[in-house]
Structure 1
Amino acid sequence: MVSRDPRDLPAADDGSDETEPAGIRLWVVVPAWNEERGIGATMSALAAQRDRDFTLVVVDNASTDATVAEVERACAASTLDVQVITEPRKGTGAAADTGVRHAIAHGATHVLRTDADTLPAPGWTAAARRAFAGGADLVTGPMRARSDEVRLKVWERAVLPAVIGVCQTFGRLRPSNRSPELHGPYRMSPGCNLGVSARAYVASGGFPRTAIEEVHEDRELVNRVRRVSGRVELHRDLVVHASVRRLRAYGLLGTLRWYLDHGHHPDVVDVRGLA
């Protein structure tokens, strides 16, 4: 089911319905900008989840192509419960925040975020549900390279996880990630593989409403949540396969510098929408 008109969406959950079953009400948020060529594969990966008890919200981030039409086409071939909303301010932070707040306003207790160029592994939502059931407030997991977009070079298969590993180690040592006001260990959480409880999201202030070149909104969210909870967890079975578009566009050194601290300044910063 695809719903685009806010009048068609369910009323906000105020907690007053005593017949609502207890437990985790999971939503998945996918920000999308000019992803008509690839979002169908992401939709198919979500439709193939072993745990399909979730609502999907796609945030059209002012696309100028047929992204929304492609979402609707993909929905026609599946039974996913999908809602499409719009965020006119282009930026991954702004779009992700709009999507997560929409989900929470309509009953989500926990929200997963991925990107419109990723393939979550079939056990992704199930792994997140287990982690949340164990009390986690923010979860992340491995990001591996997609192999279906382009023919991967041998080094590319290893480089993307290695880059994330280097940045994770650097992040643990970074003074701003070790402030006494922050609880629990630092976990580098790529925006394409991140989940958060509604309670922690609201209490922390959520994603900064920024463009991708302004701040790493995923790292900012991690530290915002760490100010209100120590339950920030890495789960090895929470896996997504990510596009190598940034690696191809930036090169190895540029990608590493980008993830470390926006140290790379390419002419085209936002790789969303690139083939």
Structure 2
Amino acid sequence: MTALWVVVPAYNEQARLGDTLAALAAQTDLDFTLLVVDNGSTDGTAQVVGDFAAGAPMPVRLVHEPQKGVGAAVDTGFRHAAAAGARLLLRTDADCLPQPGWVAAGRAAFGAGAEMVCGRLVARRDEHGPLGRAGFRVVVAVAAFFGRWRPAHRRREYLVPYRMHAGNNMGITAALYAACGGMPRRPSPTDRTFLNRVRRVSAAIHPVRDMVVENSTRRLRAYGLRRSAGWYLDRGAGRLTPDPR
């Protein structure tokens, strides 16, 4: 098996997962193993993976995680990959579209000394028009700005300043994942808690602008601008479902 694995958690993503898998098959660097973690789907998610695997340009594995929540799915996927020999781990989500140079950019950053890599998000062009995509950029910028100044993110124990990362566009070495204790095994949001775990252990956290993922904006449609900003600020969904499908 390859040293680099791409982990994709998925829950009831039959309608969208095929596009994500196609985007991964179109990578300029295909020297990776793809692992999809089916988080208790009740639709045809597993069948989509099976159909793709039959002709995929990379090894494909499917594991099942019955404990609901993206944190549990990601943790199971990363630990499964590490146990199988992975040294480098990348993650995206089953409603996202990694651009063709995504894997190559992540691998290059690891080669340059990064232990955790954080990519750049743009909005999917097939879900919103220009105003919606602009709204998405505003939400991400606001969350990133306020995240830097939250007291919980500015403690002396952290080895590097806070910089927001998106769970659907990130990577980490298997060694650092084990050292930091891994992803919280709970429903989203988990990204800030995980990043702060990493910041206690390593300062080698690199932003990588060439790692670009087209992000789903369905939360923006479901929540609206203000509530979406609250979600990305780690305030949770409130009375809204954390899974706006």
The answer to whether structure 1 residue 63 and structure 2 residue 41 are counterparts is: yes
Identity %: 51
| 1:118 Cα deviation from its structure 2 partner | 0.2
The answer to whether structure 1 residue 185 and structure 2 residue 158 are counterparts is: no
The answer to whether structure 1 residue 238 and structure 2 residue 211 are counterparts is: yes
Q: Can you give the 5+ residue segments of structure 2 that lack an aligned partner in the other structure?
A: none
Q: In the alignment, which of 142, 145, 150 is matched to residue 166 of structure 1? A: 142
| 1:217 Cα deviation from its structure 2 partner | 1.3
- Distance in 1 between residues matched to 2:57 and 2:22, nearest whole Å: 11
Q: Can you give the 5+ residue segments of structure 1 that lack an aligned partner in the other structure?
A: 1-9, 11-23
Secondary structure, aligned partner of 2:211: coil
| 1:134 Cα deviation from its structure 2 partner | 1.0
Residues 81 and 111 of structure 1: is their aligned pair in 2 closer, same or farther, counting only changes over 3 Å? same
Cα RMSD of the aligned pairs, angstroms, is 1.3
Alpha carbons 1:138, 1:222 under 8 Å: kept: no
Render the CA deviation track for 1:84-133: whole Å, top value 9, x for unaligned: 00100010000000000001111111101110000001000000001101
Secondary structure, aligned partner of 1:237: strand
TM-score by length of 1: 0.86
1:51 matched residue in structure 2? 29
Render the CA deviation track for 1:67-90: whole Å, top value 9, x for unaligned: 000111122342221100010001
Matched letter for residue 196 of structure 1: I
Q: In the alignment, which of 113, 126, 130 is matched to residue 135 of structure 1? A: 113
The answer to whether structure 1 residue 197 and structure 2 residue 173 are counterparts is: yes
TM-score by length of 2: 0.96
| 1:162 Cα deviation from its structure 2 partner | 2.2
Alpha carbons 1:184, 1:226 under 8 Å: kept: yes
Moved runs in structure 1, 4+ residues, more than 6 A?
none
- Which structure has the greater CA radius of gyration? 1
* Aligned residues between the structures: 245
- Distance in 2 between residues matched to 1:137 and 1:263, nearest whole Å: 28
The answer to whether structure 1 residue 144 and structure 2 residue 122 are counterparts is: yes
The aligned runs of 1:112-123 (5 Å cut-off) are 112-123=90-101
The answer to whether structure 1 residue 223 and structure 2 residue 201 are counterparts is: no
- Distance in 2 between residues matched to 1:106 and 1:74, nearest whole Å: 21
2:186 matched residue in structure 1? 210
- Distance in 2 between residues matched to 1:267 and 1:124, nearest whole Å: 32
